[in-house]
Structure 1
Amino acid sequence: MASKRVAVIGASGYGGLQTLRLLDQHPGLEVSFLGGERSSGKRWSELVPFLPLPGDPLVQSPDPAAIAAAADLVVLSLPNGLAAQMVPALLERGLRVVDLSADYRYRSLEQWKEVYASEAREVPRSDDQLCGQAVYGLPEWHAEAIRGAKLVAAPGCFPTASLLGLLPFLQQGLIESQGIVIDAKTGASGGGRAAKEHLLLAEASEAVAPYGVVGHRHTSEIEQAASQAAGQAIQLQFTPHLMPMVRGLLATIYCRLRDPGLRAEDCRVLLEAAYRHAPCIEVLPVGTYPSTKWVRQTNRALLSVQVDERTGQLIVMAAIDNLVKGQAGQGVQCLNLMAGLEATSGLPLLPFYP
């Protein structure tokens, strides 16, 4: 089978760089177009000398007609609000799109406008129909829909780790719908490549700091998917923390068991059953807790559970690489499914350690 041609738009950001690295020497996908506005007209080697690409391609203005002439699939690694300006034209030309931004993660445009109010003011949108058509790109839960999708909205990194740990228990009705708390920690690369004061080395090093304590944007994204799995409205508490590391994400989820007789081993067995056909997920033995270093630069997610019999609390832990399974790797996993390939094609599952 001939390789599918992939256009990467926003190629020089962290999401684009990770995508290109994963597509390099991919057995069934090849990069055929690099797009960027500010970098248009430059050779790739001028922008990213540490990641050479065959033929040192020219970065082009992301014109939909030019993209359609060069590619079958498109990865959009653009700031929130900008992807939606391109998607309708790409779909009209028969392209299939994986969007790494938040533009199509919500089922309605009104909800996106509410959560991403500042972007909505700057970039007006009227593509409500596409919001309803987009497939939420969590392959372990929506693989069949992704295979046939024209537009896939890749989840955020925090929702990915949180939902992988939470959904099996919500779907089976084993935990209370109220009182769910997610405490998550991530590296500085989660803030993107653009300069930001709080991500400077002098600011972030040797420090741990919470942010977005109330109303973080990913809260509603997690609640949307959690509510769908539970069959009822879910409200939860989500607090992220910035850690003094480059990459990695650890989510610790606290929830109350409906059946106080359930033990940690019972919960581990449930997770194993839920992900028995998910090659990117590994469920650890009870008492072994995941480290971000164990998944660094891989598309793997490590899950672990514990039960506090004294309080009746279930504690679920999930570790991912925020730039791979939490972003670009998940995008490539979706591309694989859309192209009829094995889900893990071209994706690293084993880390270099330490």
Structure 2
Amino acid sequence: MSQKVKVAVLGASGYSGIELLRLLLRHPHAELVAVTSRTLAGKTLSAEFPRFRKVGIADRLTFSNPDAAALKEAGAEIAFLALPHGVSVEYAKPLLELGIKVIDLSADFRLRSAEVYKEFYAHEHPAPELLSEAVYALPEIRADEIQKARLIACPGCYPTSILLPLIPLLKAGLLSADPLAVSSMSGASGAGRNANVSLLFCEVQNSLRSYSVPQHRHLSEIGQELAIAAGREVKLSFVPHLVPVYAGICTTTFASLAPGVTLEQVEAALQQAYADQPFVRLLGRNQSPDTKHVMGTNFIDIGWALDQRAGRLILMSAEDNIGKGASSQAIQNFNLVCGFDPAAGLQSV
């Protein structure tokens, strides 16, 4: 591809879409040629989002209605889909048919099984033939596959925070077959930019609650990826919580070590997996990650501890749910697809 890759963002009015715009407007190798939103069609980026005034072409580029042919005519080579699940798939297929690569931030292509998709999302998958082609795009785990793909399925925010600490340990056979227990807390932006009484300031402020128990939709992709890493079914309980902050995810995972496994082996597996990864920061033993240190970045911070009394390994992680959990991870995948430095456009701290 050329040094400047022409890109489009569909669904650019949501929180993930806004963050994508922020990153793409400053990306050294991206040329933003189209942004779509049915509700904002005709408005300029800077008129709707004043933070973008005098940033690149934001004062001139206008929102348009989503249309694959129009995006092709605009010269888009890669399209980011920041759309709700069930909507992305409507555009992915025609975009691919026109030769435009797709980086999808929704859940539409994360699962390999159409049956599992129906179980968790309560409707038939509209394009099951594409599921086997899509790459579940954790860049630290599947860089080689991502580089060759034309359909990128970016992981969910909770799954990213859970999978990255666990996958190296499961691959190395360091964990027992006992069920995992996972507790995660997320800021309110994880629910999307929409009108919802339960997400009003007065409902969220000074309150903390769990939700989607016992079967959050992200459990489907978490289970899928853990099983691939372990080579067996991995059972887990996952309880997400809504906390009264704008963004950020803090996850704690409880696991049992396989007989004879030491904490030193756990540490060695994590170091081997991530020592050369620019966006995974291993904090070390008994170190608790803090969301304030990852906000606005593409970093995930990981710490760990061994509870000797309970015989349990505790894995801890923190990330920005609309950053590493969504938009900045999509940019990291964009860099891999295009052959750029994986950190291009993502160096801010």
Deviation for aligned residue 1:25: 2.0
- Between the aligned partners of 1:290 and 1:2, the Cα distance in structure 2 is 36
| Residue in structure 1 matched with residue 89 of structure 2 by the alignment | 84
- Between the aligned partners of 2:229 and 2:163, the Cα distance in structure 1 is 10
What is the correspondence of 1:331-350 to structure 2 with a 5 Å cutoff?
A: 331-350=330-349
> Match for 1:74 among 74, 79, 84?
79
| Residue in structure 2 matched with residue 144 of structure 1 by the alignment | 144
Moved more, 246-255 or 269-278: 269-278
| Residue in structure 2 matched with residue 26 of structure 1 by the alignment | 27
Q: Any idea what SS the aligned residue of 1:254 has?
A: strand
Q: Any idea what SS the aligned residue of 2:131 has?
A: helix
List structure 1 runs of 4+ shifted beyond 6 angstroms: none
Deviation for aligned residue 1:260: 4.5
Gap regions ≥5 residues in structure 2: none
| Residue in structure 2 matched with residue 282 of structure 1 by the alignment | 281
Q: 1:305 corresponds to which letter in structure 2?
A: W
Gap regions ≥5 residues in structure 1: none
- Between the aligned partners of 2:284 and 2:89, the Cα distance in structure 1 is 42
- Between the aligned partners of 1:178 and 1:105, the Cα distance in structure 2 is 25
| Residue in structure 1 matched with residue 130 of structure 2 by the alignment | 130
Equivalent pair of 2:174/2:261 in contact (CA under 8 Å): no
| Residue in structure 1 matched with residue 180 of structure 2 by the alignment | 180
- Between the aligned partners of 1:42 and 1:110, the Cα distance in structure 2 is 40
Equivalent pair of 2:10/2:36 in contact (CA under 8 Å): yes
Q: TM-score, normalised by structure 2?
A: 0.95
| Residue in structure 2 matched with residue 59 of structure 1 by the alignment | 63
| Residue in structure 2 matched with residue 327 of structure 1 by the alignment | 326
What is the correspondence of 1:248-287 to structure 2 with a 5 Å cutoff?
A: 248-260=248-260, 262-263=262-263, 265-287=264-286
What is the correspondence of 1:92-111 to structure 2 with a 5 Å cutoff?
A: 92-111=97-116
State the number of aligned residues: 344
Deviations 1:114-164 (A, max 9, x none): 2111xx3xxx64311101110001100011101110001101000000001
- Between the aligned partners of 2:178 and 2:86, the Cα distance in structure 1 is 32
Q: Any idea what SS the aligned residue of 2:115 has?
A: helix
Q: Any idea what SS the aligned residue of 2:99 has?
A: coil
Deviations 1:30-75 (A, max 9, x none): 2111112222222223322222351421111111111112211010
- Between the aligned partners of 1:114 and 1:19, the Cα distance in structure 2 is 30
Moved more, 89-98 or 1-10: 1-10
Equivalent pair of 2:253/2:316 in contact (CA under 8 Å): yes
Equivalent pair of 1:19/1:328 in contact (CA under 8 Å): yes
- Between the aligned partners of 2:104 and 2:253, the Cα distance in structure 1 is 27
| Residue in structure 2 matched with residue 299 of structure 1 by the alignment | 298
What is the correspondence of 1:198-237 to structure 2 with a 5 Å cutoff?
A: 198-237=198-237
Q: Any idea what SS the aligned residue of 2:185 has?
A: strand
RMSD: 1.4
Moved more, 296-305 or 38-47: 38-47
Deviations 1:268-313 (A, max 9, x none): 2321111122110010121221001110110000011111122221
Q: 1:209 corresponds to which letter in structure 2?
A: R
Deviation for aligned residue 1:261: 5.1
- Between the aligned partners of 2:126 and 2:108, the Cα distance in structure 1 is 12
- Report the identity percentage: 39
- Between the aligned partners of 1:91 and 1:344, the Cα distance in structure 2 is 26
Q: Any idea what SS the aligned residue of 1:140 has?
A: coil
- Between the aligned partners of 2:301 and 2:217, the Cα distance in structure 1 is 24
| Residue in structure 2 matched with residue 318 of structure 1 by the alignment | 317
Q: Any idea what SS the aligned residue of 1:240 has?
A: strand
Deviation for aligned residue 1:339: 0.8
- Between the aligned partners of 1:269 and 1:195, the Cα distance in structure 2 is 46
Equivalent pair of 2:307/2:313 in contact (CA under 8 Å): yes
**1:167 is aligned to 2:167:** yes
Q: 1:309 corresponds to which letter in structure 2?
A: Q
